[in-house]
Amino acid sequence: MNSFTEENYLKEIFKLMQQEDSMVSTNAIADKLGTRAASVTDMLIKLSDKKLVHYKKYQGVTLTSKGKKVALEIIRNHRLWEVFLVEKLQFKWDEVHEMAEELEHINSKEMVLRLDKYLGYPKFDPHGDPIPDDKGKIGVKKSRLLSQLIPNKAAQVLGVVDHSPAFLQYIEKLGIMPGHGIKLKEIIEYDKSISISINGKEPVFISNDVAKNILISA
Amino acid sequence: MNSFTEENYLKEIFKLMQQEDSMVSTNAIADKLGTRAASVTDMLIKLSDKKLVHYKKYQGVTLTSKGKKVALEIIRNHRLWEVFLVEKLQFKWDEVHEMAEELEHINSKEMVLRLDKYLGYPKFDPHGDPIPDDKGKIGVKKSRLLSQLIPNKAAQVLGVVDHSPAFLQYIEKLGIMPGHGIKLKEIIEYDKSISISINGKEPVFISNDVAKNILISA
DNA sequence: AAATAAATTTAGATGAGTCTAAAAATAATT
DNA sequence: AATTATTTTTAGACTCATCTAAATTTATTT
């Protein structure tokens, strides 16, 4: 089987591949995992030997289908545990990441199947991220960033890009959460900051930096 | 913090101290953990440096109060997760040990507090073992072994000594489970095998080996 | 009490995952 | 295109938890 550490590398490579939609660089991985480039190189060689990644010296990595399967399983575990922590143990959405980082590595397919059933087969985690099914299939909702919203057209908050507690706490205070309706009221051309109405309430102002981290329905 | 491995040593030393009620030997630990005596010695020195055990060369170890606190926390986590797996995810009592071995090391006091509440503050796990509270206090029910039961006196099954799936499956098939009433019908003096009635049902025969692994009310 | 057996510790080695410092390859600039 | 800068890899070393084999201590027998 794969170690805790190997699983974390695979998960991070998967996420980076989604963003950059191509080969992932050694430094990008080192950055995300808080480790050094040299360590990443060592691990990539190991993962390559195990046929979990395609690795070409100096060129970067991509996941093999085997590697992608493992990554999706870990991501599924993570998101299901997040649902558990929020729905059953009453944690807030900005508190669950660290715990889920540990829970995701618990090694039991059957347990996760039952957890999924117990939670009522949720399709999205508390941050709006889609939960892959047990085959690794992920239901991709078409989405775009709030920073690209068209004025006065109704849309829905789907999720977030930044998952940090600070960000989540901030937007929650503004009333922005997955599932809520959203409408663009005004764009300040100068700095691209915007004013939006959530669920028909009084408009609030947010910077472009914030708008770039919120996903809405396309 | 303490590593996964350190926690397992502390937990095992705690359990052995309960049984033998004195110093625990290097070999006993090696046996239980499936490792070699030399490895145990190394770890004992390390745990001693961290003030988690009292260690005297060639004499054995006991836990310090600090070590006992950690051990009880791990045991509490383990037993609460077992309750979760059986009550909420519908696992059988002989299926949950391995999963709980991993879940017990998830590092979040708050999560365990909420899990405890969510489960309704259970006092015993599915095998009848008492669950320490968050201060490490453990409610000890006076118990003795089924092999010491007095003929025709009513008693109750409290728990088991052997936790192996094979054993649990066997006694469950016989109808022996924590909470069930039990009465001794006959003792075969030759091999100390006994015949017992569970919840007033038809008596069943069990060997002394089995009777020595079942805990009943004193 | 001396000899033998058993338990425990020491010494030295290994693999996993990490690091720093230096070398090599690729990318960017002048 | 040649030089400089950046990225990545190699080389060698460290820590953690483990191992085997040999040495030492304690326990058991004769």
pLDDT at A147: 86
- Dist. CA B76–CA B90, nearest whole Å: 20
End-to-end CA distance of chain A: 40
End-to-end CA distance of chain B: 40
Model confidence at A86: pLDDT above 80: yes
Per-residue pLDDT tens digits for B18-29:
887 789 999 999
- Dist. CA B205–CA B196, nearest whole Å: 7
- Dist. CA A99–CA B176, nearest whole Å: 37
Nearest Cα of chain A lies from the Cα of B105 at a distance, in angstroms, of 9
- Dist. CA B79–CA B96, nearest whole Å: 10
Query: Count of H helices and E strands in chain A?
Result: 8, 8
Question: Which is higher by pLDDT, B53 or A202?
Answer: B53
Percent helix, strand and coil across chain B, each to the nearest 5: 45, 20, 35
What is the mean pLDDT, run by run of 10 residues, along chain B of 218 residues? Answer: 95 92 92 96 96 95 96 97 98 96 96 97 93 91 84 88 90 90 91 92 92 88
Q: What tokens does B42 get?
A: 């190394």
Q: What tokens does B176 get?
A: 């022996």
Per-residue pLDDT tens digits for A122-170:
999 999 899 999 999 998 777 888 988 888 888 999 889 888 889 989 9
Q: Yes or no: say if A132 and A152 are a contact pair by the CB < 8 Å rule.
A: no
State whether residue A41 is helix, strand or coil: helix
Residue-range domains of chain B with CATH? 4-63 (1.10.10.10), 75-140 (1.10.10.10), 143-217 (2.30.30.90)
Nearest Cα of chain A lies from the Cα of B118 at a distance, in angstroms, of 7
Interface of A with B (CB under 8 A): 85, 88-91, 98-99, 102-103, 105-108, 111, 114-115, 118
pLDDT at A53: 97
Contacts of A97 in chain B (CB under 8 A): none
pLDDT at A5: 96
pLDDT at A22: 80
pLDDT at A10: 97
- Dist. CA B207–CA B214, nearest whole Å: 11
pLDDT at A42: 96
